[in-house]
A and B are shown apart, each in its own frame.
Chain A
Amino acid sequence: DVQLVQSGAEVKKPGESLKISCKGSGFDFTNYWIGWVRQMPGKGLEWMGIIYPRDSDTRYSPSFQGQVTISADNSISTAFLQWSSLRASDTAMYYCARSPSLVVATRNIFDIWGQGTMVTVSS
């Protein structure tokens, strides 16, 4: 089965660091872009950024540039989203999703999604 499996829920305190993961299986991880999407409680979807694991080409939304770091490790077919200093406003569900392309209309899509990782930041 083609799937993305994300790491489990996290509860952290403000100021702590965190790295969550998204592991791909059933497809060539290096042939796809892996994106991250935030969904704050009761709110809509926000595109955070995307990485091409083959060469680590990474693009960020201006809203998230400098706030998070996206990375990937091809050897374990896993993408990561990390924070160096969490805030309460980072409390949200985070989804990873796969895209075949960034330049072709029929392939600029999130066709496979992870199950989501809930991050709760509270003192």
Chain B
Amino acid sequence: DIQMTQSPSSLSASVGDRVTITCRASQSITNYLNWYQQRPGRAPTLLIYAASSLQSGVPSRFSGSGSATDFTLTISSLQPEDFAIYYCQQSYTIPWTFGQGTKVEVK
């Protein structure tokens, strides 16, 4: 299985802050990298697909970049509704695997 490692595991930030989360794959996954947000008690939702494409309906403050093994999710100006857990996922090969998650908390 391809291992996905996110960093940090958690971070504290304030509304308006720029937040960056990184995700590293154990082997090249080209651009088969997706980002999901999970709010407490809710199902995950898709934010970014194919490393850098914004899912329809997702605010433009979210952006993704990277290729091969190293990827980044950036929130340009954190909003109150963005405090959540973020997961990266590779869909290059089965089984698709998720990172362990990054919890974004209120500072």
Contact = CB atoms under 8 A, between A and B. Distances in A.
B69 interface: no
Contact of A44 (B46, B55, B92, B100): B100
Using C-beta atoms within 8 Å of the partner chain, give the interface range for chain A.
20 to 34
Contacts, number: 72
Contacts of A116: 43
A95 B32 contact: no
Contacts of A109: 34, 46, 49, 55, 91
Nearest to B56: A111
Nearest to A112: B46
Interface of B: 1, 30-32, 34, 36, 38, 43-46, 49-51, 53, 55, 87, 89, 91-92, 94-101
Top 8 nearest A-B pairs (CB, nearest first) are: A108-B91, A61-B95, A113-B43, A45-B98, A47-B96, A105-B50, A109-B49, A106-B50
